[in-house]
Chains A and B, each alone.
Chain A
Amino acid sequence: MTEASLVSRITDFASRADPYPLYEELRRTPVLHEGGDGPYVISSYYDIKALFHDPRISSDTITLAAAGRDPLDEQEETGGLPLSFLRTDPPQHDRLRRIANSGFGPPHRPRRIDGLRGVMAETVTGLIDGFGDARRIDLVDRFAHPFPVTVICRLLGVPREDEPEFRTWVDPLVASLDPGTRQSADDAFLKSLHQSRTALGAYLAGLAEQRTAQPQDDLLSDLVRRDGPDGSMAMMEVLSTAVLLLIAGHETTVNLITNGMLTLLRHPDVLERLRREPELSVNLVEELLRYEPPVQIVSQRTCIADVEVRGVTIPKGSRIWLMVAAGNRDPERFKDPERFDPDREDIQHLGFGSGIHSCFGAPMARLETQIALTELARRMENPRLVEDPPPYRPNAVLRGPRHLEVAFDGLR
């Protein structure tokens, strides 16, 4: 039997806790193609950066389907909704993203994210207070998982009283993203998934109609506005955008926060510094996005022309994987790349991607993680890892611990 391919070793669950040695091996062949209709795997920082800005690289799901089966078996839960802007190319992508952005950030809504600061701080405080007298908690279930949904509810404009019910629909959807859950899904789960999706769609449609009639100061109201230069989104587009923000903004943020706490617990000196210097959190989160990015692989790409990378011609129609987590530790770009160093100068990582599909929610994820980590560091007394490495989720793309057991001596 021949040695297992590098791609299959990376996707293999056994390497989930520490894929970085495999990424190092990968970078020795910056353009790796292991044959057949397998992906062209790109692992150096500059090549990935260039391809993110290359107009011959498509993110369109339909183009992608023609490129054959993806070994990652990622699947988007569109549930009958039109493709979100994450999975379309210009000009459709640009129009949808512009409208979405008109409700999210500058120039139209420069204070939208900053306006959520209070909700974020209040939610974080509530969750930490909720640890109560416990001296050991699972940070994922008790903190990182519930936090982002509350923030997204406030962003979209889901009323507080609807949030508990809203959560019961979102949770199965988020769970279904994980290949492990999908493989073991029984009929009952699939049925509940279908029901959740239908219920969530109906709920959001109702909310959107209400906002059309009576606009409020929230994102959903901006998505249904009709006076912008790009017109408004069709109702189905509103729903697919809202679901995209929910799904894409959830698991990634959970993992960023969990990876962050894990990294801090492995670097107690930095944790202690953060406790004393909360302003460190800005650089710390950037370095975290480099060191442990919540999206490890951008796999939904194909080329619509032959593309040459480092002398290798990637034929038109090929599937391309951009290994952002490998590029983030590329010694050609970063000095001492395997070291977690929030004092690093010139942190420009691929953690949020780059180019037209660069992370839409980045400003929100940054602020959420800055607040979450600062407060955890400030309030937990003598926190320590119970298990290292912690158990991981099966997902190789949205990589993160399933649980993170943390022991501590009390709350400050």
Chain B
Amino acid sequence: MAADPGARILREGRIVIVGASLAGLRAAETLRAEGFAGELTLIGDEPYEPYDRPPLSKSVLLGMASPIHTELPHRREIAARWRLGVPAAGLDLAAGRVRLADGDEVEYDRLLIATGVRARPWPNEEEARLDGVCVLRTRDDAADLYRRLKAGPGRVFVIGGGFAGSEIASACRGMGLPVTVAERAGAPLVGALGGVVAAVAADLQLENGVDLRTHVTVTGLEGDAAGRVRAVHLSDESTVEADVVVVSLGSLRNTEWLTGSGLGAGPRGIACDAGCRAFDVRGIVTDDVFVAGDVARSPHPLFGYQFLSLEHWGNAVAQAETAAHNMVCASADRRPHLWMPAFWSSMFGVSIKSVGVPPMGDQVMVTQGSLAERRFVAVYGHQGRIVAAVSFDNTRWLEFYARQIERGAPFPVEFPTMDRRPEGRRPVPAAFPDPSLPTHGATVTLTGYSPADRQLVFHPARP
């Protein structure tokens, strides 16, 4: 039998990881843990060692943690060559070469792309340059925003009521600062959690003294003579004076450096197969280019094989580990990335957690607790199956719902649970602004526990 290339790569290959954040670091560690003895290079555009981002919008803004001390703990020695502070600028697929912005080139036998996302900037460049207009993605952003909040601005204006925007608003209230949140939809978090649960988030903001403006967009930012932002103009023709404006309009995927490379990369990320191998523009899967983390789009068997982009901390870790394994193992030993989507947030003293894919749900029911008390578990259903669950201050139950999603358990939830209230007996429309279209196909059940022995069991769809 011919030797599998995996064995040679493992022994003496050259591996390059572009992106030195959570996914990049965890992949590097996994490679070494798998016995990779070759040359490892990590390329990162920021001049810092990999650091953790979730604290940047929470404890860092409250001054409880320093933005320069959120480095990620290393699980093991990775003996890598670090190229920090230099972004990758191009990729030559045929030659197996990454070009850096400083003109350097690094050759690889296996490449992992984990370039992640960046904050979407304010579209009007002139307004975006005003002093006091910020974004929050990096630790430099966090240090800058913290400094501005600490200075005690008259008002902070947050554009966008997603998770990041809501967390920033929460930090502002925690520091006693007046804050306005503008959200184009009817409530904060509505895109991620749907209207029913988002109404609770809206109440939470109002009760905590946030000046919440919904169904509005920001039409312009106004500066003073010194170039400092002083006011925000809204589509309802109102004006709000503010000294700090945080643009929290989601993210852009860092794929521009791959333009023209022949890889299937674009504004929606880089498409890859369940084994984390990138597709090229022809839709043919590559053998030596892998993707992990926020920049990846991969098909998920539990959710109709839709390509999911998951900007989740846990996904970055799990996908990096799977990608790294698959980069150096024999082809027969490759594993699929079958991570259960999950994320958490905390705002206004409430801990929010989600498993599955809430926006896939067209109906929702509260199976434990109550929306009015803001302590509950809401379960989302789609085509007779549970596809997601979201908890407010009820985190410990979500593991159960994750298993229900894996098993393709039926929706509506018929069985009794502790603390089931009358309001939770019947499903209601989940009220997402743009409901997902139904898909038809086989249902898939995940079985097994350790990543090594997860198997897919196919149950043909009933006619």
A341-365 contact mask (Cβ, 8 Å, vs B): 1 or 0: 0000000000000011010000000
A93 to chain B, nearest CB (A): 9
* In the complex, chain A residues whose CB is within 8 Å of the CB of B417: 55-56, 304-305
Q: How far is the CA of A202 from the CA of B446 in the complex (A)?
A: 56
Beyond A50-B399, A53-B397, A53-B400, whether A90 also contacts B449 by CB under 8 A is: no
Beta-carbon contact of B449 and A46 below 8 Å: yes
Beta-carbon contact of B399 and A56 below 8 Å: no
Asked if A91 is at the interface of the complex by the 8 Å CB criterion, the answer is yes
Asked if B419 is at the interface of the complex by the 8 Å CB criterion, the answer is yes
> Which B residues, 351 to 388, have Cβ-Cβ distances below 8 Å to chain A?
367-369, 373, 375, 377
Q: How far is the CA of A333 from the CA of B450 in the complex (A)?
A: 9
Out of B349, B373, B397, B449, which one reaches A55, CB within 8 Å?
Answer: B397
Asked if A218 is at the interface of the complex by the 8 Å CB criterion, the answer is no
B421 to chain A, nearest CB (A): 9
B17 to chain A, nearest CB (A): 24
Asked if A336 is at the interface of the complex by the 8 Å CB criterion, the answer is no
Beyond A46-B449, A55-B367, A55-B368, whether A90 also contacts B418 by CB under 8 A is: yes
Q: How far is the CA of A49 from the CA of B449 in the complex (A)?
A: 12
Beta-carbon contact of A90 and B369 below 8 Å: yes
* In the complex, chain B residues whose CB is within 8 Å of the CB of A306: 415
> Which B residues, 387 to 429, have Cβ-Cβ distances below 8 Å to chain A?
396-400, 403, 415-419
Q: How large is the interface on B (under 10, 10 to 19, 20 to 34, 35 or more residues)?
A: 10 to 19
> Which B residues, 60 to 119, have Cβ-Cβ distances below 8 Å to chain A?
none
Beyond A90-B368, A332-B449, whether A305 also contacts B415 by CB under 8 A is: yes
Beta-carbon contact of A94 and B375 below 8 Å: yes
Beta-carbon contact of A55 and B399 below 8 Å: no
A230 to chain B, nearest CB (A): 11
> Which A residues, 49 to 101, have Cβ-Cβ distances below 8 Å to chain B?
49-50, 53-56, 58, 89-91, 94
* In the complex, chain B residues whose CB is within 8 Å of the CB of A90: 368-369, 418-419
When C-beta atoms are compared, the residue in chain A nearest to B75 turns out to be: A345
* In the complex, chain B residues whose CB is within 8 Å of the CB of A50: 399-400, 403
Looking at B368, B375, B400, the one whose CB has the most chain A CB atoms below 10 A away is B400
When C-beta atoms are compared, the residue in chain B nearest to A229 turns out to be: B349
When C-beta atoms are compared, the residue in chain A nearest to B349 turns out to be: A107
* In the complex, chain A residues whose CB is within 8 Å of the CB of B398: 53
Q: How far is the CA of A49 from the CA of B396 in the complex (A)?
A: 11
A148 to chain B, nearest CB (A): 26
Beta-carbon contact of B416 and A56 below 8 Å: yes
Q: How far is the CA of A332 from the CA of B396 in the complex (A)?
A: 23
Beyond A55-B367, A55-B368, whether A91 also contacts B419 by CB under 8 A is: yes
Q: How far is the CA of A366 from the CA of B419 in the complex (A)?
A: 31
Looking at B367, B373, B418, the one whose CB has the most chain A CB atoms below 10 A away is B418
When C-beta atoms are compared, the residue in chain B nearest to A306 turns out to be: B415
Beyond A50-B400, A50-B403, whether A304 also contacts B418 by CB under 8 A is: yes
Beta-carbon contact of A53 and B399 below 8 Å: yes
* In the complex, chain A residues whose CB is within 8 Å of the CB of B368: 55, 90
Beta-carbon contact of A53 and B419 below 8 Å: no
* In the complex, chain B residues whose CB is within 8 Å of the CB of A355: 396-397
Q: How far is the CA of A303 from the CA of B409 in the complex (A)?
A: 18
* In the complex, chain A residues whose CB is within 8 Å of the CB of B416: 56, 304-305
B306 to chain A, nearest CB (A): 27
When C-beta atoms are compared, the residue in chain B nearest to A90 turns out to be: B419
A66 to chain B, nearest CB (A): 14
* In the complex, chain A residues whose CB is within 8 Å of the CB of B415: 56, 305-306
Q: How far is the CA of A55 from the CA of B396 in the complex (A)?
A: 10
When C-beta atoms are compared, the residue in chain B nearest to A345 turns out to be: B75
* In the complex, chain B residues whose CB is within 8 Å of the CB of A356: 396-397
Beta-carbon contact of B418 and A55 below 8 Å: yes
* In the complex, chain A residues whose CB is within 8 Å of the CB of B403: 50
A276-316 contact mask (Cβ, 8 Å, vs B): 1 or 0: 00000000000000000000000000001110000000000
Looking at A46, A94, A107, A358, the one whose CB has the most chain B CB atoms below 10 A away is A94
* In the complex, chain B residues whose CB is within 8 Å of the CB of A55: 367-368, 377, 397, 400, 417-419
A233-266 contact mask (Cβ, 8 Å, vs B): 1 or 0: 0000000000000000000000000000000000
Beta-carbon contact of A89 and B418 below 8 Å: yes
Q: How far is the CA of A360 from the CA of B417 in the complex (A)?
A: 23
Beyond A90-B419, A304-B418, whether A54 also contacts B369 by CB under 8 A is: no
When C-beta atoms are compared, the residue in chain B nearest to A49 turns out to be: B399
Q: How far is the CA of A107 from the CA of B442 in the complex (A)?
A: 46
B178 to chain A, nearest CB (A): 23
Q: How far is the CA of A355 from the CA of B368 in the complex (A)?
A: 15
When C-beta atoms are compared, the residue in chain A nearest to B375 turns out to be: A94
Out of A89, A305, A332, which one reaches B419, CB within 8 Å?
Answer: A89
Taking A53-B396, A55-B377, A305-B416 as given, write out 14 further A-B residue pairs in contact, using a Cβ cutoff of 8 Å, ordered by the A residue number.
A55-B368, A55-B400, A55-B417, A55-B419, A56-B415, A56-B416, A90-B368, A90-B418, A91-B419, A107-B349, A304-B416, A304-B418, A306-B415, A356-B397
Which 7 A-B pairs have CB atoms at the shortest separation, nearest pair first?
A55-B417, A90-B419, A305-B415, A53-B399, A89-B418, A53-B400, A356-B396
Of the A-B pairs whose beta carbons lie under 8 Å apart in the complex, a sample of 8, sorted by A's number, is A53-B396, A53-B398, A55-B377, A55-B417, A58-B418, A90-B369, A305-B415, A356-B396
Interface residues of A (CB under 8 A from B): 46, 49-50, 53-56, 58, 89-91, 94, 107, 304-306, 332-333, 355-356, 358
Interface residues of B (CB under 8 A from A): 349, 367-369, 373, 375, 377, 396-400, 403, 415-419, 449
